[in-house]
Amino acid sequence: MSGPVTEVGETFVSVYMYRRDGTREVCIERMAEDAARRIYVRDSEGCCYTVGGKIDNREIARLDSAGKVQYTVPLGGSLWDFCALADGRLALLTSEGSSTAGGYHLFLLDPQGKLTAVFEGEKMNGSPVLGVSGDGLLMLLEDYVYRVNLTDGKREHVYSFRQTAYTVTEVMGLLNDIQDFKMEEDGSFLILRSDSYGNGRCEAIRPVVLDKDRKDVVLRTVAYISGETWLKERILEFNNSQEEYRVVIDALEDGDDFDDFVTITGVELATGKGPEILMGSLLAGSADGLIEKGILMDLAPLMEQSGIREEDYFPATFDLWRTGDSIYCLLYDIWAQEQLMSTAILGDVREPSIGQLADAMLAYPEQAVYYGTVYGKNSAPMILTEFLQGSETLWGMIDWEKGTCDFGGELFGKLMEAAKRYQRDEGSAQTQITTKKYLSSFNGIYYNFLTGAESEAEGYVPIGFLFDDGHHPVLTTAQSERCSLMLNANAANRDGAWEFLKFLLSEEAQEKLSDVLLADMPVKKSVFRAQIEKEIKEGPGKNLDKSRMLFEGSLTRERADEIEAFLESARALPYKTEPVLEIIREESQDYFNGSKSIEQVADIIENRVQTYLDEQRKKK
């Protein structure tokens, strides 16, 4: 749009349609700037449409080539998207009022201004985007493209972006919002995006086809990775640089059964087949068995051959599912959290043992809760799990070598009692004795990272999470599910898989983590330090949302040093205790609800855990 300002101060503009080859065509000359900025689409007859009205009662108007309004049609609600079809009609996606709680409505608007309903009150997840294919209507919903029948509104699945490295929903959603898309005759897509600054771009996307000249490295996951921009960009980058291999995503599809997907993977692995790379929670609960059977590859020898040194990375990078010197899993970024506790509970104790923690909580005379309201009532099993989860022996209650257990000791009783006392009940006090400190996601989040002195000034001291060797921050569950990668030792193209994992750990790939708005911390120390030094020298990066900052000015050396120490200390929780913790969570409910005593529950837990240990010994 461009145009002069008249003598009386009115601004008139001309509206143009730009083509991909750089040429343009005038749509309307000399019209009011305000109206021109509300033009969104042009139909096959060359008429333009503008949207006006209140957000909960939009109206759409058709303008001829001179900018004259031919008619205005009220829509009776919000307009979420619309596009022009080849036959001259417009497809309009609306809802009643300003909410989609009642579902979406799809209408067709003909050139004469008549509205016809295709469907009404259709519930959908995500934010649908309308597009075209030939003379038909398409809908992009999350990662999936559907063809919409304009007679009955039924949708037919025609393509999925989930199995590709293309990112449909980009980081922070609206920063790279999809405005329109088109499917070409050859199956390729044109996707038009715009960001919050008004910048637009058109992306040409070719459909995924079998590349017979390269070997497929399959990355299988049940995680929702459509928003994993960094990972998908690295897959594209790796594939473009490789002549022998290419990485292919095999993700849980919409409508697939989760249990079936996991079971099929387990059967494939057990028979010496399966994907090259396994990601996250796909292996939840089965890591121990896969390691014992030699199905997961030990990455330590590969790292030594490739010159990858552990000391160049934060320890958490290789800590998940580690067994001694053997490494079976790696992370490509870090998202860690630490527990802080009120000084009113701990007094002068700053690094309590598990026994000191239980005694301090039981000695506190006031009524309080362990977690905030976000966890709701009946949180005692979660509290008990938190007490136990950092110790591989559950504080001496399990002897893995002998295959025995003992839950009749005084410590377990105290932990049960403390968990029950500090759970949230109806009418209980709102005083919360713990809070968590995170280091994650948003670029520049370390501006919200409290130093130890600042935390204590607010009445809290970090106790981390209690491990057998002390107190540590821990990796979050979401991260271990989202960005943990393992290699199948029996896969056909495992050499290519290792090349990809090695690439993710490289300086080149790690540096690009800081370029993404929703970026976790790099695992490579040199990249982290370079990023920190830049922040100390230059101040907040361009991507930092300053409304989220607690502190102003440059990053201080004190805060930077504590952040690095925090990441250096972060650990993954022991994996082999999870089946035992699940038993404890189940059986402890009877004590927490008052139907059994501590002693009765401890006996039941001991019997069930002993049975589990016996079964594990028989499998070896």
- Separation CA 192–CA 226 (nearest Å): 18
* pLDDT > 90? residue 602: yes
Instruction: Indicate whether 276 belongs to any domain.
Output: yes
Residues 295 and 270 in one domain: yes
Task: Copy the structure tokens of residue 254.
Answer: 């919409």
pLDDT score, position 442: 46
- Asked if 585 and 386 touch (Cβ cutoff 8 Å), the reply is no
Query: 68-82, 209-223, 508-522: which range is least confident on average?
Result: 508-522
Residues 468 and 485 in one domain: no
Instruction: Indicate whether 61 belongs to any domain.
Output: no
Last residue in a domain, options 550, 584, 602: 550
* pLDDT > 70? residue 546: no
Domain count, the chain: 2
* Helix 578-592 / helix 598-619 crossing angle, nearest 10 deg: 160
Which residues fall within 8 angstroms of residue 240, CB to CB, at 6 or more apart? none
Compute φ and ψ for 510, nearest 5 degrees: -65, -35
pLDDT score, position 178: 84
Last residue in a domain, options 519, 550, 581: 550
Run of H or E residues at 478: helix 477-482
**How far are the Cα atoms of 220, 252, 275 from residue 264, in angstroms, in the given order?**
12, 12, 11
Mean confidence (pLDDT) of the chain: 85
- Separation CA 188–CA 582 (nearest Å): 48
- Separation CA 415–CA 355 (nearest Å): 9
Query: 116-125, 418-427, 594-603: which range is least confident on average?
Result: 418-427
User: Which CATH number is 441's domain given?
Assistant: 3.40.190
pLDDT score, position 586: 96
Residues 461 and 508 in one domain: no
Between 286 and 464, the higher pLDDT residue: 464
Collapsed DSSP state (helix, strand, coil) of residue 565: helix
Amino acid letter at 379?
S
pLDDT score, position 273: 93
Between 476 and 565, the higher pLDDT residue: 565
- Separation CA 350–CA 455 (nearest Å): 12
* pLDDT > 90? residue 55: no
Collapsed DSSP state (helix, strand, coil) of residue 30: strand
pLDDT score, position 245: 93
Residues 433 and 496 in one domain: no
Q: How many CA atoms lie within 13 A of 526 on its CB side?
A: 10
Dump pLDDT digits (tens) for 336-351. Answer: 889 999 999 999 998 8
* pLDDT > 90? residue 353: yes
Q: Give, in degrees to the nearest 5, the angle at Cα 390 between 295 and 469.
A: 100
Q: Where are the alpha helices (DSSP H) in 242-292?
A: 258-270, 287-292
Question: Rounded mean pLDDT of 362-379?
Answer: 79
Q: At 329, is the pLDDT very low, low, confident or very high (cuts 50, 70, 90)?
A: very high
* pLDDT > 70? residue 453: yes
Residues 417 and 544 in one domain: no
**Closest Cα to residue 4, out of 37, 33, 39, 42?**
33
**Closest Cα to residue 491, out of 503, 500, 482, 479?**
500
Residues 487 and 465 in one domain: no
Percent of the chain predicted with pLDDT > 70 = 83
**Closest Cα to residue 48, out of 34, 65, 23?**
65
Residues 353 and 290 in one domain: no
Which residues fall within 8 angstroms of residue 458, CB to CB, at 6 or more apart? 450
**Structure letter (DSSP) for residue 97:** B
Burial of 466 (0-12, 13-18, 19+ CB in 10 A): buried
Radius of gyration of the chain (CA): 29
* pLDDT > 70? residue 502: yes
- Asked if 221 and 253 touch (Cβ cutoff 8 Å), the reply is no
Which residues fall within 8 angstroms of residue 606, CB to CB, at 6 or more apart? 405, 406, 407, 408
Instruction: Indicate whether 232 belongs to any domain.
Output: yes
Q: At 443, is the pLDDT very low, low, confident or very high (cuts 50, 70, 90)?
A: very low
Q: How many CA atoms lie within 13 A of 24 on its CB side?
A: 10
User: What would the 3-class secondary structure string for 431-476 be?
Assistant: CECEEEEEECCECCHHHHCCCHHHHHHCCEEECCEEECCEEECEEC
* pLDDT > 90? residue 118: yes
* pLDDT > 80? residue 59: yes
Query: 162-176, 228-242, 458-472: which range is least confident on average?
Result: 162-176
Instruction: Indicate whether 312 belongs to any domain.
Output: yes
**How far are the Cα atoms of 165, 166, 220, 519 from residue 233, in angstroms, in the given order?**
7, 8, 17, 13
**Structure letter (DSSP) for residue 347:** T
Q: At 447, is the pLDDT very low, low, confident or very high (cuts 50, 70, 90)?
A: low
**Closest Cα to residue 170, out of 115, 223, 232?**
232
Question: Rounded mean pLDDT of 87-109?
Answer: 91
Residues 448 and 364 in one domain: yes
Region at 109 (left for phi over 0; alpha for psi -120 to 50; beta for the rest): beta
**Structure letter (DSSP) for residue 491:** -
Per residue in 360-394, is it b (16+ CB within 10 Å) or e — as a string? bbeebeeebbbbeeeeeeebbbebbbbbbbbbeeb
Question: Rounded mean pLDDT of 557-579?
Answer: 90
Amino acid letter at 360?
A
* pLDDT > 70? residue 106: yes
Percent of the chain predicted with pLDDT > 90 = 48
Q: Containing domain of residue 295, as a range? A: 215-334+477-550
Residues 383 and 459 in one domain: yes
Instruction: Indicate whether 387 belongs to any domain.
Output: yes
pLDDT score, position 31: 64
* pLDDT > 80? residue 13: no
Residues 539 and 578 in one domain: no
* Helix 380-388 / helix 410-421 crossing angle, nearest 10 deg: 140
Instruction: Indicate whether 220 belongs to any domain.
Output: yes
Residues 445 and 493 in one domain: no
Between 449 and 461, the higher pLDDT residue: 461
pLDDT score, position 388: 97
pTM value?
A: 0.78
Collapsed DSSP state (helix, strand, coil) of residue 136: strand
User: Which CATH number is 491's domain given?
Assistant: 3.40.190.10
**Closest Cα to residue 284, out of 332, 223, 325?**
223
Question: Rounded mean pLDDT of 455-476?
Answer: 91
User: What would the 3-class secondary structure string for 573-587 be?
Assistant: CCCCCHHHHHHHHHH
pLDDT score, position 172: 43
pLDDT score, position 20: 64
* pLDDT > 90? residue 481: no
Q: At 32, is the pLDDT very low, low, confident or very high (cuts 50, 70, 90)?
A: low
Instruction: Indicate whether 1 belongs to any domain.
Output: no
User: How many residues are recorded in the chain?
Assistant: 620
- Separation CA 358–CA 137 (nearest Å): 63
Neighbour tally for 199: CB within 10 Å: 9
Residues 467 and 608 in one domain: yes
pLDDT score, position 220: 92
Question: Rounded mean pLDDT of 232-251?
Answer: 90
